[in-house]
Amino acid sequence: MQQYYCKAKLTMFKGQAAQIKQYHLERNVGDNSYQLPMAPAAMARVVPGMYIGRTGAGNSFCISPEQLHEKFNYLGGGQYLCITQAERITTKPNQRLLLAIGADKLQNDINTIYVADSRRFPFLHHKKPILLPKSYILHYQTGAIKDKSLYDLKSSEEFSWLFSLVRQQVA
């Protein structure tokens, strides 16, 4: 696993006209929610009470207060930092990682897929953690869950939208 980070400036979304204009939000028909244009679907819907912000790379995203607390550390001045260990899933995943996440191998004549233990993936909200090639498994190093053996799963698009590789300095 390699170490990645996301540093972002976040504010609570209150549905104010200035916030809607600042983030170029589009109102969803039929409810009190808005969409962030260009953001991956899983992090594009925002309702008042959620947090909205931009990464250092300029990518906007939305996050619930609970997930912000679980995954990020507050740095001050509206700045938050999330550090994670992550590994990209390939067609032949790392066996140690599969063991750590309690993954089962399901195979037929054509495909092999891996399904992880859903108790270790609390952010998927009762969905089966299916490890698809090119997705990422994350183990957070910041926030309230940093010392727990809990993981998250992100698509390649979501992961690259939020995270940057931590560059190791050579002495």
The pLDDT mean for the chain works out to: 91
pTM of the model: 0.88
User: How far, rounded to the nearest angstrom, does the alpha carbon of residue 110 sit from its chain's CA centroid?
Assistant: 30
Contact 8, 55 (CB under 8 A): yes
pLDDT tens digits, residue range 114-131?
999 999 998 887 688 999
Return d(Cα 111, Cα 131) in angstroms, integer. 13
pLDDT, position 168: 62
- Work out the average pLDDT over 34-59: 94
* E strands in 13-151: 26-27, 34-35, 45-46, 51-55, 60-63, 73-76, 79-88, 104-107, 112-115, 130-131, 136-140
